[in-house]
Structure 1
């Protein structure tokens, strides 16, 4: 039997703007949630990175993570994700090691490449880094933590340097790799790193991706099990079915419009949909979210979180709790999750896992 991973229940702060909220109001909501999460015993806080978007306004996951680590004492804080090919990987390694030291080991580095947006032309080195940089970037980060690092490729060419400070452990702080493709899953598995999966994958798809990770990890000489795989969900407790539908339709609209209206980098293949196509996509995404996400009554929330954990084999959950859009609403939701949902999730997973045969886990 493949060992069950530890269940860790956290909060994903997306710093999304709702309606006409000001930047100050969005960040005040994020800080209020972070402070309440620290008080309520939540395991983790995770923060995002977006550029040139009116809808999602955190332009540096590392900076926001640093601020929250300084405002808290117990909770772990991670990036979900730092857009690694957009930045100097050696500088990311330095910053991550600094946060690892200053926080006493409470920092997690989540990395991904995001979408092929104009970000790569304005901030990064161009499209070649989005297309081909992720694997090399990740390798440079890991090497920088372990000792002298140098670059000798078309993307990175620099003499040997030793970064400071050193991380608390030679392997560096924990790293999660945002995986959406077979190539990225293989990249993470070959380095013995866990996956970070998002809202677009149901529990069964997550299980397939983790099984593929296990296959590549074993082929690379790494253990089959013991990986701290993580995934994100929308989570909102409401006793009103109409509210659940409204919240998920609003989130579906945000996801679809953010993708279709985003500014892509030059040469990136893109086919903007018509208004009718966009409306159909919103309907489809909303239906999928309503069928899979822990949004609704307490039992619905418990059942769906447990289903995702047991089916996928991933034990670290990132709950996006801000769908309602206001600080008071998000804080009420957080309170209900921590008092009415999460204790039962932990208890049910604890009871169910010894009976599993290990399928779908890693």
Structure 2
């Protein structure tokens, strides 16, 4: 069976990141400005995240922000990266996704994942069992709901048959991407014939291995082995000097290791533990790993890293995190769109079989 490689899609990922001294209003004003710039620069995609109880990432609803940005754009595809599906009633997610599909004329993509076993599963109220076992079941409920009705009788979801409206647009459904970082979640996606959404913690070779496992599992489940619109996210920042690139990635490494610890999900009466201090050696090691894998540096370096990542991983949809330095995110986005993305497309156009 012959399959077609999906077209290359170059876009941005917005994490609604708050810089020191900025208010939530500042963050959302910047988010809108970045979305409008992405539209004007003719990017393909814009993806938004969902985080809870973090002072540095201030968007608790990827669906709500996606709806807002769809209303302020005309051409961009806007997706969630991700909606924390096991955290929410899946029928309600199906309703909202179908609604956005209609209102946007098919410009909405539903990225889903389960996130971390953190406090949102306790506070918002669905419990750790939904994090442990709920993603696949919730995916099935969403997909089946788009047939017009939904019902379930399981330990996690028990409800009578109900009509689900609106239905997706005739002849189509919103695309679904499944965030994966483990073989089990890859299997969840592959056995349902759904593409992967991969993140910063895996290099290009590791992503290629994950795509290969997906192909094997998808074929074994009776789905096509390839031709999926697999996606990945990377930090992307055009800098003027190597020192600037190093400073950006060291700050990001420190934040990854220290700054954004989510509240642990309490499964007993014990208080959450306190993470030990992270030493400079570990921060330096993570910094160096980021510097050799992420498209951060001068424009030529960024273009080469992106092209290599696309070619090696087999993924064709790229989510560039442009808020590594929130204060310069708009300038960074413009440089990526004008100096880097055209070079990536040109380089890939000379590679046989590369996505265009």
Q: TM-score range by the shorter chain?
A: over 0.9
Moved over 4 A (4+): 268-272
CA 1:223–1:154: 2 relative to 1, 3 Å? same
Q: Which residues in structure 2 correspond to 1:45-84 (within 5 Å)?
A: 45-84=46-85
Moved more, 2-11 or 241-250: 2-11
Count of residue correspondences = 352
- Say whether 1:19 aligns with 2:14: no
Equivalent position SS for 1:5? coil
Q: Does 1:339 align with 2:341?
A: no
In structure 2, C-alpha distance between the alignment counterparts of 1:241 and 1:156, rounded to whole Å: 52
Is the 1:145–1:170 Cα contact (8 Å) retained in structure 2?
A: no
Q: Distance in 2 between matches of 1:100 and 1:124?
A: 28
Aligned to 1:133, the other structure's residue is in SS state helix
What secondary structure sits across from 2:234 in the alignment? Answer: strand
> TM-score, normalising length from structure 1?
0.93
Deviation at 1:273, TM superposition (A): 3.8
Spell out the pairing of 1:110-259 with structure 2 (5 A cutoff): 110-169=111-170, 172-258=173-259
2:89 equivalent to 1:85? no
Q: Any unmatched runs of 5+ in structure 1?
A: none
Structure 1 residues 278 and 112 mapped into 2: Cα distance closer, same or farther (>3 Å)? farther
TM-score of the superposed pair, with normalisation by structure 2: 0.95
Q: Would you say the 8 A contact 1:256–1:278 is kept in 2?
A: no
User: Does the residue aligned with 1:353 lie in a helix, a strand or coil?
Assistant: coil
Q: Aligned in 2, Cα 1:324/1:64: closer, same or farther, shift over 3 Å?
A: same
Query: 2:255 & 2:65 partners in 1: Cα distance?
Result: 22
Deviation, structure 1 residue 143: 0.5
- Shift in alpha-carbon separation, 1:167–1:281, aligned structure 2, 3 A: farther
Distance in 1 separating the partners of 2:65 and 2:154:
32
Give, in angstroms, the shift of residue 83 of structure 1.
Answer: 0.3
- How many angstroms does 1:272 deviate by? 4.8
User: Matches of 2:23 and 2:226 in 1, distance apart?
Assistant: 45
Check conservation: 1:310, 1:353, Cα contact below 8 A: no
Q: Which runs of 5+ in 2 are unaligned?
A: none
Between the aligned partners of 2:279 and 2:171, the Cα distance in structure 1 is 48
The alpha-carbon deviation at position 28 of structure 1 amounts to: 1.0
C-alpha distance in 2 between matches for 1:317 and 1:212: 20
Counterpart residue number, 1:274: 276
